[in-house]
Amino acid sequence: MPQPYDETPANLLLAELGPVYGEALALRTYTARLLGADPSLVLHGGGNTSVKGRATTLLGEDVEVVWVKASGLDLATIEPTGHVALDLARLRRLRELGELTDARLDAAVLACRLDPHAPPPSLEAPVHGFLPPRFLDHSHADAILALSNRPDGENALRRALGAEVILLPYVLPGLGLAQASAEAFAARPGALGMVWRQHGLLTWGETARESYDRHLELVERAREHLEGERARAARALRAEVDLAAARRRLAAIAPVVRGALTSLWRPAGTAPGEAGAGDRPILASFGDEATLAFLALPGARDQALTPPLTTDHLIRIGAEPLWLEAPDGAAPEDLRAKIAHAGGVAPRLILVPGAGALAVGRDVREARIAADVAAHNLAVKAAQLAAGIPYQGLAADHLQAMLTRPQQLRKLASAAAPLSGTIALVTGAAGAIGGGICRVLAASGAAVAATDLAGPTLDALAAELAADFPGLTLALPLDVTEPASVAAAFDAVALAWGGVDLVVPNAGVAHVASLEELDLETFRRLERVNSEGTLLVLAEAARRFRRQAMGGDVVLVSTKNVPAPGASFGAYSATKAAAHQLARIASLELAPLGVRVNMVAPDAVFGEGERRSGLWSEVGPSRMKARGLSATELEGYYQGRNLLKARITPQHVGEAVLFFASRKTPTTGVTLPVDGGLPDATPR
Ligand code: ZN
């Protein structure tokens, strides 16, 4: 529910911000945040707000300005500098210009900024300039759009909101909308606000409070009017759904969809194995009861395959979702064909009855935003269907015009990190090397599933990664010796992000004993984790890569002990050699799928502080005893024996994995030593 205006926090913020930014911007910030705090009013950078006042130009002139929210900025967390000062007199001169191309309008608005380095203001800046009231609040409130986006929308809005509200038909955002709004306002300056059909609500006032209170009042009237419909919808959407079965289906379908989308995204002529960062989408899935019940209703398909609630959602979920019938056991090729033949435009939202929804983004953040926007859109359409009301969205020509605007495209422009769009799964992540690999991959923009045995070490890593790479990592319990556990982790990653591109089998255990002393059970324990565990992870990865059909990478963490084993280290060296050989076999078997399999072979990685290497806590004591060295001296001993006298860190191993993951060279089946140079261990 929207939060009402509260004098106490308003005054606190005024005391904090007022001395620097002035009363108007301080209170503007307060109600902008209130508006942004409720996802039923605005979502992820949607909506915009403004306030008028006076400010000094770079030349020292005192002029009238309007501060308009910066484009795409999230209202919930806005700071006073998030409203950009525009020269009001200059902005209003745009009214005389009549029609302008998108590019010229964009340039003309940018030229009104007092500070040329300020961010671009909202696309709706001309509205905020042309209308006289001091404060303006604009949202895409679900309740208003639910009334607006139906065939008798005008009557529904009129009945719900009363006569004190101006109703405008849909007008393309920009100069046309600003001119139409200014004329309508001039004709009825006493109105409380204005609804733009298929777009949203605008209110105004002489104080921050007046404009915000009016906003909430009108949204509340719309909600009350919808109460009956919502009750009917709640009954209709309380169908029996099997959530577990839907989850299983969605986990199986998501990678196939993701592979098919990659084909649509990729430049023509590139082979599946050549997909790289930027070519791969991330899919955020959701399949709650209400969504599943809606998708199962008669007429859901027609109701759902319609444009979004408001223009701002277009860049997030596209003009229309894709409806994908995917019965249990459907062949991946058939699903891929359905997606490929859906019109050539890559969909941004895929609805799968009986399974749920998949929202598409270029990275984890974009996919998450798309999923949130999609959920609000589906909820409104579902409630209307349950009440027997058809949905009416934007007309097709408006959709196209809005999708190509420079101001909208700018919201999506971001420098892509080298691995953005790449989904990685690392086993044995809670160890020193595994943690280092996760960090390097996440820092490069990959979505990283850090997996290990459940327990406090994994929990600690999860907390560290979540703090350093918000939203980009996932910690999952995975026992590499249990096939069901391996499959469950891959399923969880598919549900979170849509599939997997990079698998790093790294889990391993060590033991020190001569062959004479080595007992069979210990050998078998190492064999289960190091050899069988690698086999199970490689096999599951292979099955996933095949379904996904978009290539992939495996980077096995091998060891210097494979080419150059050490005495009393037989169990480790032999079982890791088996793992290494399995990875080489995988490079042969998976190449036709465009999957590359390579190995990194570190030596003497001790790790630091909290995250000491598990291998070295096992090996260290006996080696220290054998050589009569302290822990630090032992570390120095290993450092001294390599050619470069290098101290090998988990980060170095991560960088080696990153080299293969970034696909700079067409390389598979090779081993990259990360050991500072050990001639006996150099692969030949
Ligand atoms: Zn808007």
Residues 6+ apart with CB under 8 A from 123: 71, 173, 174, 405, 407, 408
CA dihedral 78, 84, 88, 93 (to 10 degrees): -120
Q: Is the pLDDT of residue 276 over 80?
A: no
- The amino acid sitting at 291 is T
Q: Is the pLDDT of residue 279 over 80?
A: no
3-state secondary structure (DSSP) of residue 123: coil
Instruction: Compute the distance between CA of residue 109 and CA of residue 323 in angstroms, rounded to an integer.
Output: 40
Q: State residue 468's pLDDT score.
A: 96
List beta partners, residue 86: 66, 113
Distance 35 CA to ligand 1 centre (A): 13
Distance 89 CA to ligand 1 centre (A): 23
Residues 6+ apart with CB under 8 A from 410: 71, 72, 120
Distance 188 CA to ligand 1 centre (A): 21
Radius of gyration of the chain (CA): 29
Distance 346 CA to ligand 1 centre (A): 25
Pairing of strands 322-323, 473-477: unpaired
Which two tokens mark 383? 């409630």
Give the least confident one: 148-157, 529-538, 675-684: 675-684
Q: How many CB atoms lie within 10 A of CB 290?
A: 18
Distance 47 CA to ligand 1 centre (A): 5
Higher pLDDT, 448 or 316: 448
Instruction: Compute the distance between CA of residue 632 and CA of residue 634 in angstroms, rounded to an integer.
Output: 5
The whole-number average pLDDT for the span 492-501 is 97
Instruction: Compute the distance between CA of residue 234 and CA of residue 232 in angstroms, rounded to an integer.
Output: 5
Pairing of strands 135-139, 200-205: antiparallel
Q: State residue 613's pLDDT score.
A: 73
As a whole-number percent, the residues of the chain with pLDDT over 70 amount to: 95
Q: State residue 675's pLDDT score.
A: 93
Cα first-last separation, the chain: 67
Distance 70 CA to ligand 1 centre (A): 13
CA distances from 83 to 12, 17, 118, 128, 130 (A): 20, 14, 9, 12, 17
The whole-number average pLDDT for the span 63-91 is 95
Instruction: Compute the distance between CA of residue 599 and CA of residue 613 in angstroms, rounded to an integer.
Output: 19
Q: What is the CA 490 to chain-centroid distance, rounded?
A: 18
Q: What are the pLDDT digits (tens) for 604-654?
A: 887 776 566 777 777 778 778 888 888 788 888 888 889 999 999 999 999
Quote the crossing angle between the two packed helices 364-386 and 208-236, to the nearest 10°: 70
Q: What are the pLDDT digits (tens) for 441-454?
A: 999 999 999 999 99
Instruction: Compute the distance between CA of residue 679 and CA of residue 684 in angstroms, rounded to an integer.
Output: 10
Instruction: Compute the distance between CA of residue 350 and CA of residue 550 in angstroms, rounded to an integer.
Output: 18
Q: State residue 153's pLDDT score.
A: 94
Distance 292 CA to ligand 1 centre (A): 29
Q: What are the pLDDT digits (tens) for 392-411?
A: 988 877 777 777 676 666 66
Distance 289 CA to ligand 1 centre (A): 30
Q: State residue 270's pLDDT score.
A: 63
The whole-number average pLDDT for the span 445-465 is 96
- The amino acid sitting at 298 is P
Distance 95 CA to ligand 1 centre (A): 19
Q: What are the pLDDT digits (tens) for 93-107?
A: 998 887 788 888 889
Q: State residue 415's pLDDT score.
A: 56
Angle (nearest 5°) at CA 35 between 189 and 314: 90
As a whole-number percent, the residues of the chain with pLDDT over 90 amount to: 75
The whole-number average pLDDT for the span 47-62 is 94
- pLDDT bucket at 90, cuts 50 / 70 / 90: very high
Distance 23 CA to ligand 1 centre (A): 26
Give the least confident one: 167-171, 338-342, 525-529: 338-342
Q: State residue 408's pLDDT score.
A: 67
The whole-number average pLDDT for the span 282-292 is 93
Ion ligand 1: residues, Cβ under 5 Å? 200
Helix runs in 242-298, H state only: 243-265, 289-296
Q: State residue 275's pLDDT score.
A: 55
Distance 181 CA to ligand 1 centre (A): 13
Q: Is the pLDDT of residue 165 over 90?
A: yes
Task: Judge if pTM exceeds 0.85.
Answer: yes
List beta partners, residue 201: 139, 195
Distance 313 CA to ligand 1 centre (A): 9
Distance 202 CA to ligand 1 centre (A): 9
Distance 279 CA to ligand 1 centre (A): 30
Quote the crossing angle between the two packed helices 153-161 and 208-236, to the nearest 10°: 120
Q: How many CA atoms lie within 13 A of 575 on its CB side?
A: 24
Q: Which residue has the tokens 């604009």?
A: 138
Determine which helix (DSSP H) or strand (DSSP E) holds 451, and give its type and residue range.
Answer: strand 447-452
Distance 139 CA to ligand 1 centre (A): 6
Distance 650 CA to ligand 1 centre (A): 48
Q: How many CB atoms lie within 10 A of CB 248?
A: 15
List beta partners, residue 65: 53, 87
Q: State residue 406's pLDDT score.
A: 67
- Average pLDDT over the chain reads 91
Nearest CA-CA partner of 326 in 282, 356, 361: 356
Distance 199 CA to ligand 1 centre (A): 6
Distance 543 CA to ligand 1 centre (A): 45
Q: State residue 251's pLDDT score.
A: 95
